[in-house]
Amino acid sequence: MEAIRKQASRFREQVARQQQAVLKQFGAGGYGGSDNLITDEAELQQHQKLEKLYISTRTAKHFQRDIVRGVEGYIIIGSKQVEIETKLSEDSKKYGSENTCTSGNTLSKAALSFGRARAHMEKEHGNLLKALGTQVAEPLRAMVMGSPLEDARHLAQRYDRMRQEAESQTIEVSKRQARMREMPGNHDLVMKLESAETKLHDLKSNMSILGKEAASAMATVEGQQQRLTLQRLIAMVEAERTYHQRVLQILDQLESEMISERQRLEAPPAPSVVDMPSPPPFEEVNGVYTSQTHNESTDCMGYFLGEVMYPYNGESDTELNLSIGDYIVVRKVTNNGWAEGECKGKAGWFPFAYIEKRERVLAGKVTEVF
């Protein structure tokens, strides 16, 4: 009978060792152990909450690290791009300022405009890279490497180790209880069982306190991760949006300038006034200069509006200076190619071929005529 009892005792010890080995195997890979041996409902819920917080904060930390790496790579590539584009800007401005082309300076002006616009865009690009570094990468890197997250994780890991110890102690208590049932009244076994139960009680009490502390710390860190990461993502979007808006404004202005130069280059030459006779003289009537009317040399067309198509510099006080886009109230047109009218409050003669008749004028241009 004694031999059978000893064999059963060895079998129970072997089973206990196998249980502990299984616990160690599943608990060695990180946070979290078995939920089967400690059956207190409140403790189990706390353990599961901590496990979820641990996974959530670890995933958020990896996401923050991915953002930092992506932004740092973007800054490195962007800095090289700024360097290349700045060199292109300098080359364009150099050509624009030093070009001596005999057929005109249209390309020189376009090159200068392109160089200045490119320099402005690269300045905005540099501002974007600086903003991404200071407003996105640095705050996230500080949180990834910061002590609050590591301190909270250490608390959770301490709780996990204590919980595993409590699980092992639960097995030990179960073993001693089984021996007590086999050998009731054994004083030595009673003392060992009471000591094991006291240790288990202390472990559970400390584990509960540490679990609450770890859960509070992890929840605080999780909230900070969520808020800060979202704020930095918004800051990154706003910085890039501002950059692209400013670049679009620069490109719109550059395109307008270059198209204007191209149109000037491709426009037909202005009509010649070399062979035209001089315009009729003006005579002063009550302090106002008006042209003399000669029935034989004046076509009476009535007043109408004309838009200036070619620039003209008057050669005398009786002639008007014209700029492309000006509007003129035309009052007389002579048979020899001259017309008389008023533009910007001044009356005078101008070559009629330099304007085109308009049926209407934009409201904003009316004040420019008078």
Number of CB atoms found within 10 A of residue 106's CB: 15
pLDDT computed for residue 32 by the predictor: 55
Q: Which tens digits make up the pLDDT trace of 98-114?
A: 887 777 788 888 899 99
Q: Could you give all domains of the chain from N- to C-terminal order, each with its CATH number?
A: 38-266 (1.20.1270.60), 304-358 (2.30.30.40)
Token pair listed for 41: 């409902």
How far is the C-alpha of 361 from the C-alpha of 22, rounded, in Å?
A: 92
Q: What is the pTM of this model?
A: 0.61
| Res 9 pLDDT > 70 | no
The H-assigned helical ranges of the chain are 2-27, 41-98, 106-132, 138-145, 147-182, 187-266, 363-369
8 A C-beta contact, residue 139 and residue 159: no
The residues that bridge with 285 in the sheet, in sequence order, are 288
- Sign of the torsion formed by the C-alpha atoms of 75, 81, 85 and 86: positive
8 A C-beta contact, residue 216 and residue 148: no
| Res 223 pLDDT > 90 | yes
Q: Which tens digits make up the pLDDT trace of 262-317?
A: 877 776 777 776 667 777 776 543 334 445 544 444 444 578 899 998 888 888 88
| DSSP result, 307-366 | EE-S-B--SSTTB--B-TT-EEEEEEEETTSEEEEEETTEEEEEEGGGEEEES---HHHH
- Of the pLDDT bands very low, low, confident and very high (cuts 50, 70, 90), residue 208 is confident
Residues 6 or more apart whose Cβ sits within 8 Å of residue 265:
104, 106
pLDDT computed for residue 177 by the predictor: 87
